[in-house]
Copies of this chain bind each other. A is one copy, B any other.
Amino acid sequence: MRIGELSQRSGVAVPTIKYYLRERLLDPGRPTATNQADYGDDHLRRLRLIRALIEVGGVSVSSARSVIEAIGGDQLDPFDLLGVAHDAVTPKRHPSRETEGWTAARERAGQFVTDRGWMVHPFSPGIDLLADVLAAVESLNVVEIGDNLDKYADAAQSIAGTEVTSVLARRETDNMLELVVLGTVLGESLFNALRLLAHQHESAVQIGFDPAKLGQS
């Protein structure tokens, strides 16, 4: 198919497809004439994957490239790929961690993980991210978030358990790899969207609030 059809079927604008080609996220098409190329179903599927990662999941172009290389390479087992997928969804910006409060929060985060009995690498970046939130919560004295920590962890563990079970139920390694990545990235966007909707519903339930009032929010 021509680039126009590729754009129409994938929902990605032609200039964006050209950008992904320049960034080598997408392999070049087969040249057919000067300035024209032919694209196949592999290109379409790859483009849908790129779109899911970048436009739906909010993954950066460079992280998306790492993910795609990892899926394409045969060397990685699902756990190495889980590392790549986690890296893709881990925010690159993070607050200064050189404050006294952060060091204390990092200790509490590590202790929390230990207390839950979670088998997690002691230098996992997830613990640092948890400490970022705990330090902010502490500095602003938002006690409720700290008090609810176990409820957040229960929900996270329930989702993660479901996700890992789904990956293991797949038979072929190829499919498994893609699901690790897509589950990690799209699962996060999915949960965040549902949480916003559930906020509206719970506000309505708990105080008889008319959701129509929330308008476009």
Which among A147, A152, A154 has the highest number of chain B CB atoms within 10 Å?
A152
Contact B182 A188 (CB under 8 A): no
Give the CA-CA distance A22 to B82 in the complex, in Å.
41
The complex is assembled from copies of this chain, and their number is 2
Any B CB within 8 A of the CB of A173: no
- B-chain residues with CB within 8 Å of residue A129 when the two chains form the complex: 189, 192-193, 196
Which among A102, A124, A129, A144 has the highest number of chain B CB atoms within 10 Å?
A144
- B-chain residues with CB within 8 Å of residue A149 when the two chains form the complex: 190
Which among A151, A152, A217 has the highest number of chain B CB atoms within 10 Å?
A217
Any B CB within 8 A of the CB of A171: no
| A residues apposed to B, CB below 8 Å | 10-13, 45, 48-49, 51-52, 55-56, 58, 78-80, 82-84, 86-87, 89-91, 93-96, 98-99, 101-102, 113, 116, 118-121, 123-127, 129-130, 132-133, 135-137, 139-140, 142, 144-145, 147-149, 151-170, 178-179, 182-184, 186-207, 209, 211-217
- Offer 12 A-B interface pairs, CB within 8 angstroms, sorted by A: A11-B135, A79-B213, A82-B214, A120-B200, A121-B214, A124-B216, A125-B216, A126-B200, A153-B198, A161-B202, A163-B199, A191-B195
